[in-house]
Structure 1
Amino acid sequence: MDRRELGSFLRSRRERISPEEVGLPAGRRRRTPGLRREEVARLAFISPEYYTRLEQARAPRPSREVLAGVARALRLSDAERDHMHHLAGSPPGPPPGPSREVRPSILALLERLPNAAAIVLSATYEVIAWNALAAALLEDFSAVPPRERNLLRRYFLGSGRELFSAGADGFAGSAARRLRAAAARYPEDPEVAGLVRELLEGSAEFAGLWASHDVCARPALCKTLRHPVVGPVSVVCDVLDIADRDQQVVIYTAEPGTSSEEAMRLLSVVGTQRMGAPERQG
């Protein structure tokens, strides 16, 4: 355990986070940048005295539970979490839950697909990134709370099922299989367990799919999306796996020369605005 380096690393991560980022009031009398030590301790569910000793290189080796709490409190990336574990003399194990951190190169890729709608999904089908055409075709995800960006919750619990017509059964089966595999990879993550429980209690269809215990890979899917402005849009869904983040890039494209391709072109121009709706004044 490198106590001095660990303390310096924790302090540097603490000083870069503003209170507002973690839902705390900024206050008027802050003499130090970022969070206070006691605030990090409260967010990590450890004592302020112990966290202070960690930063001052006076604490004994922290447990994995303590390190997991500190990682959440300081909003560490996967690489930062692993680095902290190595400094603490505790080699990192598997991540406690699905990663929501999208590589900058993947974000840039989404923007380089002007004729395709693309989203990035976490292991639990949470939409964590999207391009402009995806917002126009599927939904403006920035306008809904993060909880409502989960496609499994929206499909099986009824809030987003209207998006699909043809191809919906294929989505349901493949999504349930992927969630079962994710639940096995992240058995200690309360969000994954909570999502499974919520779907089992709220959807007989999901419960039936879950009972099959299938975890096989899903094929490429064809779907018909019912868009409120341009009407039905038939698309092919290609999926690229991002193995190191346990994420997927889903790319929606239309067959060349079809009415669906024309609809996609129109959506790329109008974006998320409502065609035919009067503009707001003032």
Structure 2
Amino acid sequence: MTTMVQESDVRRHELAGFLRSRRERITPEQVGLPRGRRRRTPGLRREEVAHLATVGVTWYTWLEQARDIQVSPQVLDAIARALLLDPSERTHLFALAGATDPAPGTPCPTITPSLRQMLVQLEPIPACIMNSRYDILAYNRTYGRLFCDLDSLPPEDRNCMIMAFTNDDWRAAVVDLADANRMMAAKFRASMAEHLAEPAWKALLGRLERSSPAFREVWARHEVVGQSGRTKLIRNAHVGLLHLEHNNLWLGPAAGPRLVSYTPLDVESRERLEKLQAFAPAEA
């Protein structure tokens, strides 16, 4: 009995810390609220989150204070939307609360219809939107077939770090895999420096360490590299070798979501991307 009580207490405090960290990262402008002149709180205030989620301020405050209260899946859903949680964060929220997500396939609220339309307009250039944790939040048809068949994977596996170290199709497509993965691990370490205490990051790191000896080896080197574009050779299973330039375009703060695109560097690669677009299904 004591063990169950202790576990429940730990979960409540983890949930409280997680909610605070998500609230503090969101600016008023991101959710259509005025900043005001005397704002001292980093990110949103508790009452602003409560207003956006249409829940009581006192009740939401108790959640962040780790009070022992009951919370319904519907209210958690509203809070997840108010805090602009991405799919991994949303899953973590419901896990901490010990609740079943009523809408597990809910699209990430940071991916607006206009951003999805932009991805379509970029075709045949492969493009996606990912967060700093390498979760792929949205992608166009050519990106969906660039390394592997993304549509065939569950959402929780659509993470570039996971695929780079565990997905056979993705790994076969990357020319000079060892160097590419070493660079990815170094970029991931640099990004994680600002998120060391966050559960979703720790969970991803734990999964990588458990599932990939190659990741454990490169992670032990403690190498750090900043995000930057670079030339890449990709051996696509459907159209052959592609010579592409990888580019990042941040959609907000540098630590947030970014648009990733792969621009062809020669005529042959452009033609092969057009073939790949025709090969891919109408909807990604």
TM-score (norm 2): 0.60
Equivalent residue in structure 2 for 1:181, among 180, 187, 190: 190
The within-5 A match list for 1:89-100 is none
Q: Return the index of the structure with the highest Cα Rg.
A: 1
Equivalent residue in structure 1 for 2:258, among 248, 259, 275: 248
RMSD after superposition:
3.5
Residue 26 of structure 2 is matched in structure 1 by none
Q: Is the 8 A contact 1:151 1:160 kept in 2?
A: no
Residue 13 of structure 1 is matched in structure 2 by 53
Residue 225 of structure 1 is matched in structure 2 by 234
Q: Is the 8 A contact 1:224 1:233 kept in 2?
A: yes
1:29-52 residue CA offsets vs partner (Å, 9 max, x unmatched): xxxxxxxxxxxxxxxxxxxxxxxx
Residue 80 of structure 2 is matched in structure 1 by 75
Q: Is the 8 A contact 1:153 1:199 kept in 2?
A: yes
* CA spacing shift, 1:79–1:144, aligned 2, 3 Å: closer
Q: Is the 8 A contact 2:147 2:173 kept in 1?
A: no
Partner amino acid, structure 1, of 2:80: R
Structure 1 residues not aligned, in runs of 5+: 1-5, 15-53, 81-99, 274-282
| Alpha-carbon distance between aligned partners in 2 of 1:261 and 1:213, rounded to the nearest angstrom | 37
* CA spacing shift, 1:65–1:161, aligned 2, 3 Å: farther
Figure out how many residues of one structure are paired with residues of the other and give that number.
Answer: 208
Q: Is the 8 A contact 2:228 2:247 kept in 1?
A: no
* CA spacing shift, 1:133–1:158, aligned 2, 3 Å: closer
Where 1:74 maps in the other structure, the secondary structure is helix
Q: Is the 8 A contact 1:125 1:175 kept in 2?
A: no
**Shift in Å, 1:12:** 7.0
The within-5 A match list for 1:31-180 is 55=56, 61-62=61-62, 64-66=64-66, 74-78=79-83, 101-104=109-112, 105-180=114-189
| Alpha-carbon distance between aligned partners in 2 of 1:232 and 1:102, rounded to the nearest angstrom | 33
* CA spacing shift, 1:117–1:238, aligned 2, 3 Å: same
Partner amino acid, structure 2, of 1:221: R
TM-score (norm 1): 0.60
| Alpha-carbon distance between aligned partners in 2 of 1:137 and 1:256, rounded to the nearest angstrom | 17
| Alpha-carbon distance between aligned partners in 1 of 2:60 and 2:177, rounded to the nearest angstrom | 54
Q: Is the 8 A contact 1:124 1:178 kept in 2?
A: no
Q: Is the 8 A contact 1:114 1:133 kept in 2?
A: yes
* CA spacing shift, 1:267–1:158, aligned 2, 3 Å: closer
* CA spacing shift, 1:256–1:185, aligned 2, 3 Å: same
| Alpha-carbon distance between aligned partners in 2 of 1:77 and 1:60, rounded to the nearest angstrom | 12
Equivalent residue in structure 1 for 2:210, among 187, 197, 201: 201
Structure 1 range deviating more: 221-230 or 246-255? 221-230
**Shift in Å, 1:151:** 1.5
| Alpha-carbon distance between aligned partners in 1 of 2:130 and 2:233, rounded to the nearest angstrom | 20
Q: Is the 8 A contact 1:167 1:222 kept in 2?
A: no
